[in-house]
Amino acid sequence: MMGLGMPELLIIILIIVILFGSRKIPELAKGLGQGIRNFKEGMHGEETPKIEARKEESK
């Protein structure tokens, strides 16, 4: 199996910068981080208490 070395990673990063532009990359990273965080919270069942707390606050 072939591994990814430094030259390959640099080429991938260069292609991403060309496709999305340097201004859009932080927004993409933020969205990816939030998605991963939400997924982990969902896997641990931490989302349910937050929803119940919000329902009680709105009453």
pLDDT digits (tens, 9 = 90+) for 21-41: 888 888 888 998 999 999 888
Going from the C-alpha of 16 to that of each of 26, 28, 53, 58, the distances in angstroms are: 12, 11, 40, 43
Q: What is the dihedral of CA 26, 46, 56, 32, to 10 degrees?
A: 10
Taking the whole predicted model, whether its pTM rises above 0.75 is answered as no
39-58 confidence digits (pLDDT tens): 888 887 755 555 566 656 66
Name the token pair of 28.
């993409």
Going from the C-alpha of 19 to that of each of 16, 22, 31, 32, the distances in angstroms are: 5, 9, 17, 17
| Residue 57: CB atoms within 10 Å | 7
